[in-house]
Structure 1
Amino acid sequence: MWNKVFPKRFELLKAYILIFISLAFILRFCLTFWYYPQIDASLFVLIKTFLIGFLFDVGTVSFFALPYAIYLLIIPKKLHGSVFDRIITYIGYSLGLLIFLFSFFAEITFWEEFERRFNFIAVDYLIYTYEVVKNINESYPIPLLLGAIFFVLFIVMLITKKANIFKKTFNNETVFKQKLIPTILIILTSAIFALFIKNEDAEQFNNRYNNELAKTGIYSFFAAFRSNELSYTEFYNTIDEDKAFAKVKQKLTAPNSEFLQPNERQIFRTITHSDSLQPAQKPNVIFICIESLSASYLNSLGSELKITPTLDSLSNKSLFFTNLYATGTRTVRGMEAITLSIPPTPGRSIVKRDNNTNLFTIGEVFNQQGYERNFFYGGDGYFDNMNTYFGGNGFNIIDRGRGFLLDSDIKTKRTNIDDDEVSFENAWGVCDEDIYSKVIKEADEAYLTETPFFNFVMTTSNHRPFTYPENKIDIPSGTSREGAIKYTDYAIGNFLKQAQKKPWFNNTVFVIMADHCASSAGRWNLNIDKYRIPAMIFNLENAAPQKIEKLSSQIDMFPTLFALLNWDYSSNLFGLDIMKMKKADERAFIGNYRNLGLLKDQKLMILSDQHVVNYYEWETDNDNLIPKPIDTNLLEETISFYQVADYLYRNNGLKLIK
């Protein structure tokens, strides 16, 4: 039967399909063995996982087999085995195998970092080849990996030749009618997967790891390439637009705020603190956004690693927020939450979307108070569209540029970190000590002008390949994330020691918070404990050190600071003053590019695409989610926040008021 479907002329194509399916099975088996404790390993679920995976493997390989199948169909019998036929066949077979082998090796490294099949992150990284290629080169033994790929390619080619598969393909009497059957079968398989099968159809399990194992990496990659953005109104539950705005406004209402146009679909309002007993303060503000720092790494938040002595010490001298959560899992998502003070919207971050300039950000609040705004990044801010976003929203750019210019319509200035200011550099930019040295240099110059400044500093050292200057800490560079975290902590301590010697230090507030956790991977689509991050406000005048245990979100940090500074300002921000939160106000927004969650009172409501809703009770002791009947009130509140956030972005409701 198998030989009737695939006649001799299709012998090589048959081998090609079998090789891909075999390699895909081996990879799936290895990932299953690697993460066996995390998956649902009951027999039925495991069989179903591999069966779905097999079907996606078949669908994926059909796309690659299609061009050669059509070629085999249309080439007449008299050209079988000709020089032209041999050249096309050898090149096509070698190239196809090389793509498969490279993708399988790449999947292993991607899984090691994100514990997922290829997704939109892999697609995004195609744009930034310099950083990605350099990071891979610094993180992995590239010559060894490439050598292994080509060695396997050579072995497969040799086995193919020894098995006389090339000979059977070139020397045969297969007629057009015989070639029609396998070609139609491959065309139909490709058409079914192209038109009717979505990558999300593999997600048939409660356990996230099983969902990922059931997918095929290449198929997932192209699925992410096609759907890098999701329409909220098309894919998620909605309610009446006016009702959604009414609910959000109710949650944002405070005695000291007044909506400018209460009957319109917007949340612009004035916030006043004029009646405060304390006068308004205008200190310099330096915000340190730490790359990938989970709360679980700090001893002051429960760790036993002892790798963050500086931050642990600062936690006792600061307003220390012990129950605060990041909104997402990537740096640009953290930047979006911090600067726009907005719940995450589905798909890619607003930082990377079109129409993301001239928005009302926290930078505008500083602008209202007469501050100069600066964005510091140790790499090239072209990466992840950071320069366009920050520059287009009023920030001056200080980065390690490689020649890319700001868009012509961006009027802010750009300052380069020069070679003589760099002591250490890797794929992601200069080390944290170097970026802090640049911050101090720019602060010294700003002090002379007597203009208050707000510096947004994005660190990079706590990022794979985890390399940093030698002889700074007792963990060798490039060996582990723990070493990178300890160096990150060391660099902050060194920075503060240098800053304390400066005349501007006493009038400078330091806000420290992570952009996201080191990893978001776990059994669930949203693993709550993988979103908890450290956050603190240090050196604020008249603010006694204390621990704030209220459940809060990354979007609340700067509205809280503005309240502590007693500022009157106009606002388009979703964030609340954590210090004045009532128990009923405590909540955290957490999400990824497809799942949007609202955490409140140990309950988690999750909105997913395809109009799926899940509701859980969170068991904190084991970080477990127990399914519960839907709470309709919390569901409407969750929908309202995410629907309004999406509406405002898509209808220019986040723009500055002219």
Structure 2
Amino acid sequence: MRHGVRSLFIDRFSLLGLFIGIFLGVNAVTRTILMTLSASQVDFGLIQLGTIYGVGLVFDGITAFYFIIPVVLYFVFVPDRVFRHRFHRPVVHLFFFVGVYILCYGVVAEWLFWDEFGKRFNFIAVDYLVYTTEVIGNIMESYPVYPMLAGLLVPSGLIYFVCARSRVFKGALAAPCPFRQRAATGFMCLMVPVVCFAGVDSSRLRVSENVFNNELAKNGVYELFAAFRNNDLDYASFYEQRDTTEMLVRLRKLVATDNAEYLSQSPEDITRRVVNPGDEKRLNIMLVTIESMSAEYMGIFGNRAGLTPNLDRLARGGLFFDNLYATGTRSVRGLEALTLSTVPTAGRSIVKRPGNEGMFSLGYLFKERGYDTKWVYGGYGYFDNMNYYYAHNGFSVVDRTDMSKEEKTFANVWGVCDGDLFNRSLKEADASYAAGKPFMNFVFTTSNHRPYTYPEGKIDIPVKTGREGGVKYTDYAVGEFMKAARTKAWFDDTLFVFVADHCGSSAGKTSLPLRKYEIPLILYSPKTIEPDRVSKLCSQIDVAPTLLALLNWDYDSKFLGKDILAMKPDEERAFVGTYQKLGYYKGDRLTVLLPKGGTEAYVYDRVTKQQVRAAIDDSDLTDAIGFYQSASWLYKNGLTRRTTGEQGWDS
């Protein structure tokens, strides 16, 4: 063991010590840069800073030992005569430089990710690794990538040059290192990641009540691999539970309504017959889900930048819901909530999970009534498994690959511009109308997404200048879309639904910042719906039941959402979450379920947008567990699928 310790300073392993020192220094610089970028959000103070950098140093060190595992193995098994040979030295120099360059590249990668999400690498980064075409394309279109990569040669070269001229570096290439000595040192180096893998978990890391401080104390690379391990969380394994039967019974009470009757007495069966009074309406449905349209961007919510005149006009002329919350921070979360009317699942969205075919979905309800049901998307629908999910849950799929060259006047890596998407949506509606069939088109936009590029000359904000341009162009496209729709024979018999998939940003000082989940919902049909403003607290999962209620449909339901217009004051609530944290918002209190059985609670002032820690309310906690535990159990046991005999899965 003594030889192993000495070898860290006098032989080839001293290179690893040198590299680890650089690793720690570069990550400290990264932490400082990210802290500077979010200075207004960070809680500063001597103790806070000391904790951030101290805990950060620990996780940086652990990550460094993970990082060098391949090199440790190489150093152990390469014989002295090879390692010390003059032809091998350039190899060491090359790989040392490459390692330093990768560290510098990591600084830039973390900065870009932080700029977009206000987080260290997490499950979003893991998902994006699967879709390299879109992600790399987005980066290429958003940033001067090649100049940045070339610029990294400067700091990388300087660090390498200083190290290569050092006595440690030169001595490491010449000093002998017998196999027993190499094996002992290698064993010590490898035991560090082995022990840390078994005993260190960053998911419960908390250095502050401020989420930004907690994120800064983490290491991005460590979090990337931790997210890869935990991307699919089983509720039963990670979250606080109660007796399953009791929670299922509680769920039935929570989703019960005056106009619905359960078809079974079994607590495992949430199927109920919903009866809506009045004659059934067979209106066409144009459900437009707008990428990243936070409530705060719209004038009707108080924004004075004039970005959304068309959406504001529709809100004033339709049924406008101003207190609705997105269920998550990813598009697939919004799509899940809108089609399945279910609370967010821990880990991955159902849209991306295997075995998601034949779910009880909005698509099938319309399809069974003879509607043309179409999922219309401007991008490549293989992204996030969207095409597969919609094709196997009641919709026909139309995406970028189905559009002709003439239809695609402008596109970026995420998809055709919203104007082109809306034009194709109108064509699909025309085709259904010509065939004598009502239609339900689920349209998903892409233009309000980095790199924020769109056709020139449409709005007064130059392309690639930020979110405001994306918001204003999408609003412009909505205006043109509605102008064209008003000329159609089917317009008077169509209900237009405008809702966001999620907000434009989810970063905040608390674990689930509610103000970052507020989104608009507009139901517009001037011949059938009177304008009104609804301020009831509600969720994306309530959109489908509300829509069906407006149509006066009677149907068997497995939805967890409710008709917003019929909600009683004590029924108002919303659900928000990330892939790990599950929130239940009722009254002015937010209850959060955390992995490993933890819980948090906050009081939220919707006017001031202030959110402060509070004591846990037992009733709210039990309701939260009732929803999330029961929803997970029902999904896992196949009880949220369509009734046996009705499957008829699409080919």
Q: TM-score range by the shorter chain?
A: over 0.9
Contact 1:310/1:490 (8 A) holds in 2: yes
CA distance in 1, matches of 2:306, 2:24: 46
TM-score (norm 2): 0.95
Partner deviation per Cα, 1:358-411 (whole Å, 9 max, x = no partner): 11111122123221100011010000100000001121111013xxxxxxxxxx
- Higher mean Cα deviation, 37-46 or 519-528? 37-46
SS at match of 1:346: coil
**Is residue 59–residue 193 contact of structure 1 (8 Å, CA) maintained in 2?**
yes
Q: Which amino acid letter does the alignment assign opposite residue 368 of structure 2?
A: Q
2-side partners of 1:179 and 1:391: how far apart? 57
Tell me, in whole angstroms, the C-alpha distance in 2 between the residues paired with 1:184 and 1:397.
54
> In the alignment, does 2:266 pair up with 1:280?
no
Q: Name the residue aligned to 1:419.
A: 405
Take 2:118 and 2:431, find their aligned partners in 1: how far apart are those partners? 45
Please tell me the residue identity of whatever aligns with 2:528. Answer: N
Name the counterpart of 1:254.
257
Whole-angstrom distance in 1 between the partners of 2:458 and 2:83: 66
Q: 1:525 aligns to what?
A: 511
User: Match for 2:625 among 612, 633, 639?
Assistant: 639
CA offset at residue 11 of structure 1?
A: 3.0
One of 190, 193, 206 as aligned partner of 1:190: 193
**Structure 2 SS opposite 1:316:** helix
Structure 1 residue 5 displacement after superposition: 4.2
AA of the residue aligned to 2:362:
I
Q: How far is 1:301 from its partner? A: 1.0
* 1:332 counterpart = 2:332: yes
**Partner-residue secondary structure (3-state), 1:337:** helix
Equivalent-residue separation in structure 1 for 2:39 and 2:89 (angstroms): 44
Q: Look up the match of 1:469.
A: 455
For 1:608, give the aligned amino acid: L
Measured in 1, the distance between the counterparts of 2:76 and 2:364 equals: 64
Residue identity matched to 1:628: A
Does the residue aligned with 2:13 lie in a helix, a strand or coil? Answer: helix
- Per the alignment, residue 649 of structure 2 pairs with none
User: Which of the numbers 105, 110, 134 marks the counterpart of 1:107?
Assistant: 110
Q: Within 5 A, what are the aligned runs for 1:73-92?
A: 73-83=76-86, 85-86=88-89, 88-92=91-95
What is the match of residue 124 of structure 2? 121
1:619 is the counterpart of 2:605: yes
Q: Which residue matches 2:571?
A: 585
For 1:9, the equivalent position in structure 2 comes to 12
Corresponding position of 2:443:
457
Q: Partner letter of residue 306 of structure 2?
A: K
Q: 1:515 matched to which residue of 2?
A: 501
8 Å CA contact 2:249–2:267 kept in 1: the answer is no
Q: How does 1:74-223 map to 2 (within 5 A)?
A: 74-83=77-86, 85-86=88-89, 88-175=91-178, 179=182, 182-223=185-226
Residue in 2 that maps onto 1:481: 467
1:211 alignment partner AA: N
Shift of 1:603: 0.8
Q: In 2, distance between residues paired with 1:75 and 1:144?
A: 37
Aligned residue type for 1:7: I
Deviating more after overlay: 86-95 vs 535-544: 86-95
SS at match of 1:40: coil
Q: Establish whether residue 42 from structure 1 lines up as the match of residue 45 from structure 2.
A: yes
Residue 387 of structure 1 corresponds to: 387
* Deviation (angstroms), 1:8: 3.6
Residues 459, 472 of structure 2: 8 Å contact kept: yes
**1:233-252 deviations in whole A, cap 9, x for unaligned?**
11101111111111111122
Q: Which 4+ residue blocks in structure 1 deviate beyond 4 angstroms?
A: 1-5, 174-182
Distance, in Å, in 1 between the alignment partners of 2:204 and 2:596 is 11
| % same residue | 40
Q: Does structure 1 residue 292 correspond to structure 2 residue 296?
A: no
- Tell me, yes or no, if the aligned pair for 1:360 and 1:572 is still in contact at 8 Å: yes
- State the shift of 1:294 in Å: 0.5
SS of the residue corresponding to residue 374 of structure 1 reads strand
| TM-score normalised according to structure 1 size | 0.94
**Preserved contact between residue 494 and residue 525 of structure 2 (Cα < 8 Å):** yes
Which residue identity does 2:443 align to in structure 1?
A: V
Partners of 1:180 and 1:568 lie apart in 2 by: 73
Q: What SS is found at the alignment partner of 1:456? A: strand
Structure 1 vs Structure 2 CA RMSD? 1.8
1:207-235: CA deviations, max 9, x gaps? 11111111111111111111111110111
How far apart in 2 are the matches of 1:92 and 1:255? 69
Deviations 1:511-547 (A, max 9, x none): 0000000001000110001000010100154321000
Q: Is the 8 A contact 2:14 2:172 kept in 1?
A: yes
Corresponding residue SS for 1:513: strand
Within a 5 Å distance, the mapping from 1:499-514 to structure 2 comes to: 499-514=485-500
In the alignment, structure 2 segments of 5+ residues that lack a partner are 645-651
Aligned counterpart, 2:349: 349
Once residues 129 and 614 of structure 2 are traced to their aligned partners in structure 1, the CA distance between those partners, rounded to angstroms, is 40
CA contact (8 A) 1:7 1:178 kept: no
Aligned to 1:410: none
Q: What SS does structure 2 have at the residue aligned with 1:234?
A: helix
User: Is 1:649 matched up with 2:649?
Assistant: no
Bigger shift: 389-398 or 194-203? 194-203
Q: Which residue is equivalent to 2:59?
A: 56
Pick which of 546-555 and 32-41 moved more. Answer: 32-41
Could you tell me which residue of structure 2 aligns to residue 409 of structure 1?
none
Asked if 1 retains the 8 angstrom alpha-carbon contact of 2:97 and 2:157, the reply is no
How big is the shift at 1:321?
Answer: 0.2
Q: Secondary structure at the match of 1:366?
A: helix
Q: 2:310 maps to which residue?
A: 310
- Deviation digits for residues 596-652 of structure 1 (CA, Å, limit 9, x no counterpart): 111111111111111001122113344333332221111111100001111111111
Distance 1:483 1:76 in 2: 60
Number of aligned residue pairs: 641
1:459 CA displacement: 0.2
Letter in 2 for 1:55: V
